[in-house]
Amino acid sequence: MSNVRDFGAAGDGMLDDAEAIEHALVEGDGTLEFPPGDYLLSRTVKVELAKSGWLAIDGSGGAAKLIMAGEGPAFHVIGTHDKSADPAGFRP
């Protein structure tokens, strides 16, 4: 797991953690681990799956909260296929 604090996130609710979370996405192992804390985001964190591969978000340490200081969403996950998620759009 990529603990976001290891990539510079403060988790104090006062400092912007968006850049540290993006750094964890690029340099980490695909799992963003959020230990207890308040993670301030001034902007949406874009996750381009074609570049990063798979993504998991783990807040199982309890009491981890994302606080949007700007417009949301907190995460914008951009998929890797050209179809919608509608099951009718997929073939066997």
- CB-based contact 64:33 (threshold 8 Å): no
Domain range annotation of the chain:
2-81
| Average of per-residue pLDDT across 15-22 | 97
Q: What is the mean pLDDT of residues 19-33?
A: 94
How much is the pLDDT for 9? 98
Percent of the chain predicted with pLDDT > 70: 87
pLDDT for position 51: 82
| Per-residue confidence band for 17, with pLDDT thresholds at 50, 70 and 90 | very high
Edge-to-edge strand ranges of the sheet holding 64-68: 12-16, 37-41, 64-68
pLDDT, residue 90, reads 62
Q: Where are the alpha helices (DSSP H) in 3-92?
A: 18-27, 49-52
Tens-place pLDDT, residues 45-89: 999 888 878 889 999 878 999 999 988 899 999 876 666 666 776
| Average pLDDT score, the chain | 89
